[in-house]
Amino acid sequence: MTSLAESYFWSTDEGQLLYNQRLQVVELNTRNLNTQKQLLARRQKLDELRQRVQSVQENLVSEHGRFVLEQHELQNELQHFSPDAVAERRRANELSHRQTLRQCRQNLLQKQVPLSSFLSLCTGGAAAAADDTTRSPENVRAD
């Protein structure tokens, strides 16, 4: 229980002023506490956003690295298909083909293969000539 003097004090202007000041302090403390809670929540959200941004940046760096690597690989492939590279491979293939044909011709000249057998090998048998004579190296060279 409050004493009579205390009751009288709170009823005076000075007591009401002190009561109102204490009430304002309580309200300010409550607002301050709410503001601190809001700030804490905002800081946590900001930290989450920073982490997400950092993660996205790391992913971008990683993707950029992959992109650069893939770009270099594609440029290397493109160089492989450049007109000069294609022409060079074509020349090499033609040279290889000519060498193979020369070797085949030399083998045929050495073995004196019948013309029908030779034509059968070249055409798969569809247009084999009826000539079964053995060709001499001189006759084959004349062709």
The pLDDT of residue 132 is: 44
Q: Is the pTM of this model over 0.75?
A: no
How high is the mean pLDDT of the chain? Answer: 81
**Interior CA angle at 15 toward 12 and 20, to 5°?**
125
CB atoms under 10 Å from CB of 135, counted, come to: 19
Please list the ranges in the chain whose pLDDT falls under 50. 126-135, 140-143
CA dihedral (118, 120, 121, 125) in degrees, to 10, reads 180
Segments making up each domain of the chain, as ranges: 9-81
* Alpha carbon distance, N-terminus to C-terminus of the chain: 137
pLDDT in tens, 24-50: 999 999 999 999 999 999 999 999 999
